[in-house]
Structure 1
Amino acid sequence: MSVFGGLLRMIGYHGNYAMSIRSSREVYARCMLQASSADMIHAFLPTKLEFSQKWEFHVIHVWLVLRRLRSVHPDAKSAAKDVSQKVFDRMWEDSEKKVLDAGVSAFVLSRYVKKLQQGFYGSCMALDLATSTNAGSGADAVLAGALFRNLHECDSTEISAEALRNGAVYIRAQLNHLSAIPDAQMLAGDFAFLPWENVEQIIQKSLSTAN
């Protein structure tokens, strides 16, 4: 072992806690990168974006990863739980910063973040329920409904039925994609979401099948 490697070992760089910290940082960064994609935003969100909608789009991608981490092999459950918790904590640290950047006063920050947390739990429960059954016209309608309520705040003037349907296809495509990535890569944050080009192909194929 090199002197540098020995020093890293001494300070705990390769310890489980330090590794989960680094993994959670990578996982969260990938969620934010995907949720910030201009192609994704253009396809699934209205032209005039509110802070709550941008934040909810971030929530969806964090949920996608947290859901995948719940399905790891039993031997990796403890590590997955640790990484998931740190991703969750990191998201709220980032959310507080985003809320302040959006112009919310520091005096009401705690109350605003608490409201976001309630929304987060509600969205995750709705998405879990909507994806608990296999894809199909009925199941996708339930998923599209969850997106309409949580992502679009029931505003039919800003979103089309096609965009909601495409959003449902997108979520299922990402779930299938992430499920094929080995547990070790997911836990290390060494993964990527399905690229927009692939998503477009899946959406077009689903439209052809529907017709």
Structure 2
Amino acid sequence: MSFDHALRLTEALLALALVQQSLEHLRAFRHERFLFGVRIVLCLLVLVGVASPWPLVALAGLSLLILQRFQGPYNGGSDRLGLLALWCVTLARVLPVEQWRELAFGYLGVQLMLSYFISGWVKIVNPDWRRGVALRQVFAFSAYPVAESLRGWAGRPRLLVAMSWAVMLFELAFPLTMISQPSLIVGLVVAATFHLVNACLFGLNRFFWTWLAAYPAILWLQQRLF
């Protein structure tokens, strides 16, 4: 995958992810509707490739206003990765030197890889995750499950232990998928499936679209390095 192709694909996927997030705010207060309405328009300009890179620059500037409005990335990890991706692709478009543009885009790929590894490390050093207790609490007590019937999984400790270890080991091993393009593609398919399952079970749909948008960056980075 060429640099230009990967960058363009990341822009398009990120624009779609930001549109999906922005639609949630169109029923909010008037000031929020204005901010996110403008963001939708800018995302559509990015999608059709009009006046590049200025819609991206405007989106990056608008992200600062949204950060100020909510006193930070209000929706956790998905917002943080979305902001990182937005600024990385913007810099990859506007920086004057090709090597700088590649560094900005490659940084997104590195951060995507680390997002899985660090998540796995944080889990595996936590005894509650190793014993399946953390997942049991998610199913039993949190507001995340999209159906009450899913709360019954809290009473299946062996399944929860197996699920916990499967997630932890995959996340810790994810950097090894960078060894080759086929292994990385397999790793990304597994990761995307993981995010899709979380979206279906827990309603965490923002994570699916935001992480998916960053996949072209790591695919390009793997080719660039190996």
Task: Quickly name the TM-score band, shorter chain normalised.
Answer: 0.3 to 0.5
What TM-score, normalized to structure 2? 0.31
- Of Structure 1 and Structure 2, which has the larger fraction of its residues in helix? 2
What TM-score, normalized to structure 1? 0.32
